[in-house]
Amino acid sequence: MVRRTKEEAQETRNRLLDTAEHVFNERGVSRTSLAEIAEAAGLTRGAIYWHFKNKLDLFNAMMERVTLPMEEMTEGFADPTLSDPVACIRNQSIAILKSIDSNPQMQRVFDIMTHKCEYVDDMAPLRERHLEGRTDCVMHVEEGFRNAIKLGRLPKSVNPKLAAIGLHALIDGLIMNWLLDPKYFSFARDAETMIDSYLRGLAATPAATPKKAKSAAA
């Protein structure tokens, strides 16, 4: 009996989270209350407050059910045994874009987080989570680019931190724009070209031009 009760509680929790995804996606986070989510799920206010203490608690639980695109960037880029860190970064970047194209739940959650949630009031802590995720991603990619420079896979003139920030901005921006209009371009078709264009640009980065000494005044 206890086991069945736990299973029913988990089913109720999942039902509430599934409903929250769809309601947040339709109405936006700030315009949706926990009571409205409970009603849409066909449950009572008591049921939703038994599982979640507030909207932020529910939102975090919803986010934890998916791995967001940029959270997939791993620490392995700085592995000294990697012979080609750039190829590793390339492959993972392309995989991230293609995963968005084929994962409706990830699409919904990322769309809610980027387009339908204001980082104010009770949702303000989400801004810190977003920034932490960005910082971690950039740090891992920077380590990969730094390793690639040591191995001669990228020119020494490349600034690894700025290159990592640029790649993050490219992927993040592509996903946000695609979510606004999925018919505008196709990740399944175009992901390789988009990432390769950026990485080829890094590989072609010219050496810094030495500054000319100022001529002495006549």
pLDDT digits (tens, 9 = 90+) for 13-41: 999 999 999 999 999 998 999 999 999 99
112 and 170 co-located in one domain:
yes
49 and 121 co-located in one domain:
no
The most confident of the ranges 6-10, 51-55, 75-79 is 51-55
- Could you read off the pLDDT of 41-58 as tens digits, one per residue? 999 999 999 999 999 899
Distance CA 180, CA 176 (A): 7
Which residue range forms the structural domain that includes residue 124?
69-203
pTM of the model: 0.81
| DSSP percent split of the chain into helix, strand, coil, nearest 5 | 70, 0, 30
25 and 90 co-located in one domain:
no
Count of structural domains within the chain: 2
Angle at 160 between CA 157 and CA 163, to 5 degrees: 95
